[in-house]
Chains A and B, each alone.
Chain A
Amino acid sequence: MNSAQIEIQLIASLVAIACAIPGTFLVLRKMAMISDAISHAILPGIVIGFFVTQDLNSPVLILLAALTGIITVVLVEYIQKTGLVKEDTAIGLVFPALFSIGVILIAKNANDVHLDVDAVLLGELAFAPFDRLLIGGTDVGPKSLWVIGSILLVTISLLILFFKELKVSTFDTGLSASLGFSPAIIHYGLMSVSSVTTVGAFDAVGAILVVALMIAPAASAYLLTTDLKKMLALAISFGVFSAVFGYWVAHWLDASIAGSITTMLGIVFLLVYLFAPSKGIIAVMYRERQQRTEVSLLTFLLHLKNHEELEERHVNHLYEHINWQKVRARSVLDLAQKNNMILIEKNIVSLTKKGNEFTSKAIDYIITNEDSQIEDMKDDFFLFRG
């Protein structure tokens, strides 16, 4: 690993952390798409800023572009407030228009601007180490490292200072307003941080990766935990992991680093989405199947309880009367037998004492919906845990 590679990975990791923090709150506040809007809409701000400063890493440009991001948010909210269209439509109308203006500005001044629309979307992390910051003639590192480093520093200090306020206003706007924290200030504060982060990161990694780095780690973390601090920590680790790992994949494939990091983020999310312990798709589907079997079991037990006649309790009758497929009937029968709830003698099914009690309790629960009576059943059955 040479120093340029280390620097690239360092920049990518810092960007990942700086994006994961506001991203977590955006996901929790159901405003994830705003980050997409901001990342596109800052383009005209960047172009105009570039005309003024001629330097992509200048703080003036970052502020100008971040201002465009905030203008986008205000514009979206204004359009939404008129009630003429829904919020998502407002977002979808504002950012393509601003982005188009940016693209046209670049195209019209192609000769003067050293800006390329592809670079805006993708960034070029590989070149980041070549643009160095010189202080008094000494080389102190790549410029983008300093830019994103200072943004991260501000973000982290704001997070620590206002963690409580952010938490309250994210989960209970009404409470936070009544406690005296203005939701508007926190909202616009978060929007400003998101805008600044997007602009600062966009030079290194491009507009789309910023969106991915904000949303994907937070979404993956949200599937694993419901604790805000844990979620932040998880999101940051997912981001950093994807950044470093993605870099090496890109190195190996000789392809875009930003694209590769995004792909890694996607793979991380896919894995979490499939295998998360309680909210992953496999866990959810398993639970749903269990519940379906348990409902069938209950129906079956009730049927037995209600029918004394032998022919109603014959094994074959299950297939006919209740109209379950054979496989299903088999598994229900097995489950009931395993739990000692039924006895099968000469193909005649009857309830055991335990089965009888269980059924009565279950009916009680269904009728009264009281939890206390079925505490001991909860261990065996998913159905009553809801």
Chain B
Amino acid sequence: MDISKYIELVFTDYTLRTITLGTAILGAITGMLGSFAVLRKQSLLGDAISHAALPGIAIAFLITGAKDTNTLLIGALVSGLIGTFWIKSIVTKTHLKSDTALGLILSVFFGFGMLLLTFIQKQPNANQAGLDKYLFGQAATLVESDVWMMAIVTGLCLIVMLTFWKEFKLLLFDADYTKTLGFNTKFIDILITVFIVLAIVLGLQTVGVVLMSAMLLAPAAAARQWTNSLAKMVFLAAIFGAFSGVFGTAISSTQNNLSTGPVIVLVASVFVAFSFIFSPSRGLLFKQIRVLKNRRDLELHKTLAFMYHIAETHDNISHPHKIKLLNNFQGYTKSTLQKLVDKNYVERNGSMWNLTQIGFETAANLYTKQETEDE
């Protein structure tokens, strides 16, 4: 199937349109809220919350006996919140560290959820089939009302975020200062946490319990590499998340036997890898290039300094010297000499070289801080 045909299908085919739209909105909201989770150093909280939501789904089903998505998600929300606040209480009230608390709640809640799910499966209730779609998610089961639900929550989240933007930002970077300013930090903190839990719960149906944390982290971690501004980061993370959703859906729908959740996660991971390598200011590639450039500059400076010390011993700074003289100096190569010539610091005549006036002055200023020109 070629691309134009696929794009046409996205707009005409009901299922594909719903799924694409759903995953895109999901990617956007998780990316947005994920930025806060990543910056608050709560990256793995998402993992714990999504696992902790599982027993809620099972209990909601046991109580209502119906498989209505919204009811199940409310159950997930409640149990996710219980898990989150239990983690917080373990960390603050005991000497167990956050990693232990996270791993503990994650595995225990998930195990309990699985116990309930297997228990439900043995029940004589024909309605129970399909609850395990929440484990890995099934984007194919998205219907229009689910997408509306996601859109409404995203809208709500946007409104709250814009209203409390200043407070969120303050709390993120300087919690103590926020407190001294008189803001209710506990309230803001709970507000952010609740929205993160909400976003995770929304994604359970699509991506599933196990992989949901990546949806939260990956777009934010990718966005972080491109900017130092929170607003830009949140915006970029939303874009990355949405594109992961769209591309992931596209790839999985054109292949057989490819579930959407893992593909979306892999696409998001590719975004992260790309950002890690190619981001201009923080990326590994440009960092390496900068290191190499600095090393070359240093060699150039060393050569120039060496020449300066030779030239210093003569009255006339432009007194020519043999190139051979430079050979026992480490930083010297033919190319560095050529570069110095190109920069007009040095003149070369056959096997002789001499410093120019500019070169002499630059070299003299090399180790003083007066040099304003950035090489």
Contacts and interface: CB of A to CB of B under 8 A. Distances in A.
Interface of A: 27, 30-33, 35-36, 40, 79, 82, 84-86, 88-89, 91-93, 96-97, 99-101, 103-104, 107-108, 110, 117-118, 121-122, 208-209, 211-212, 214-216, 218-219, 222-223, 250, 253-256, 258-263, 265-266, 269, 273, 279, 281, 284-285
Interface string B199-228: 000000000001101101110010011000
A215 B115 contact: no
Interface in B99-130: 99-104, 106-119, 122
Contacts of B90: 273
A255 B115 contact: yes
A35 to B, nearest CB: 7
Contact of B111 (A104, A263, A281): A263
B112 to A, nearest CB: 5
A49 B89 CA distance: 41
A250 B116 CA distance: 11
Given A82-B284, A93-B221, A88 B44 contact: yes
24 contacts: A30-B99, A33-B99, A33-B102, A84-B276, A89-B43, A89-B221, A92-B44, A92-B47, A96-B269, A100-B261, A103-B262, A104-B259, A110-B257, A117-B136, A209-B111, A215-B107, A218-B100, A258-B111, A259-B113, A259-B114, A259-B118, A262-B108, A262-B112, A262-B114
B218 A93 contact: yes
Contacts of A40: 210
B211 A208 contact: no
A110 B132 CA distance: 18
Contact of A107 (B51, B94, B257, B269): B257
Contacts of A30: 97, 99-100
Interface string B282-293: 101000000000
Given A31-B99, A208-B114, A266-B112, 6 more contacts: A36-B102, A82-B284, A85-B221, A92-B46, A223-B94, A265-B111
B93 interface: yes
Interface string B250-287: 00000001110111011001001000100000101000
**How would you classify the secondary structure of chain A's contact residues: helix, strand, loop or mixed?**
helix
Contacts of A215: 100, 103-104, 107
B214 A93 contact: yes
A253 B103 contact: no
B217 A92 contact: yes
A316 to B, nearest CB: 34
A298 B41 CA distance: 40
A383 B251 CA distance: 64
Q: Pick from B108, B132, B272, B284 the residue with the most CB of A within 10 Å.
A: B108
**How would you classify the secondary structure of chain B's contact residues: helix, strand, loop or mixed?**
helix
Contacts of B284: 82, 84
Interface in B270-319: 272, 276, 282, 284
B262 A33 contact: no
Contacts of B42: 88
A227 to B, nearest CB: 15
The 4 closest A-B pairs by CB, nearest first: A262-B111, A259-B115, A96-B214, A266-B108
Q: Pick from A209, A253, A258, A262 the residue with the most CB of B within 10 Å.
A: A262
Contacts of B41: 86, 88
B108 A100 contact: no
B95 interface: yes
Contacts of B47: 36, 92
Contacts of A97: 214, 265-266, 269
B213 A223 contact: no
B96 interface: yes
Contacts of B118: 122, 255-256, 259
B214 A92 contact: yes
Interface in B325-362: none
Contacts of B110: 208, 262
Nearest to A39: B107
Interface residues of B, number: 62
A219 B44 contact: no
B43 A96 contact: no
Contacts of B38: 85-86, 89
A265 B97 CA distance: 18
A108 B251 CA distance: 13
A385 to B, nearest CB: 16
B98 to A, nearest CB: 8
B76 interface: no
A79 B282 CA distance: 13
A284 B103 CA distance: 23
A118 B43 CA distance: 25
B34 to A, nearest CB: 10
B267 to A, nearest CB: 10
Contacts of A100: 211, 214, 261-263, 265-266, 269
B97 A281 contact: no
A64 to B, nearest CB: 21
A93 B269 contact: yes
A104 B259 CA distance: 7
Given A101-B266, A108-B258, A219-B96, A91 B44 contact: yes
Contacts of B224: 84-85
Contacts of A284: 93-94
B28 interface: no
Contacts of A96: 210-211, 213-214, 217-218, 265, 269
Q: Pick from B107, B110, B118, B214 the residue with the most CB of A within 10 Å.
A: B107
Contact of B100 (A103, A219, A281): A219
Contacts of B96: 27, 219, 222-223
A219 B225 CA distance: 35
Contacts of B117: 256, 259
Contacts of A91: 43-44
A93 B217 contact: yes
Contact of A92 (B43, B100, B113): B43
A284 B118 CA distance: 37
B222 to A, nearest CB: 9
Contacts of B214: 92-93, 96-97, 100
A253 B213 contact: no
B107 A93 contact: no
A107 B102 contact: no
Contact of B225 (A35, A84, A121, A255): A84
A265 B109 CA distance: 10
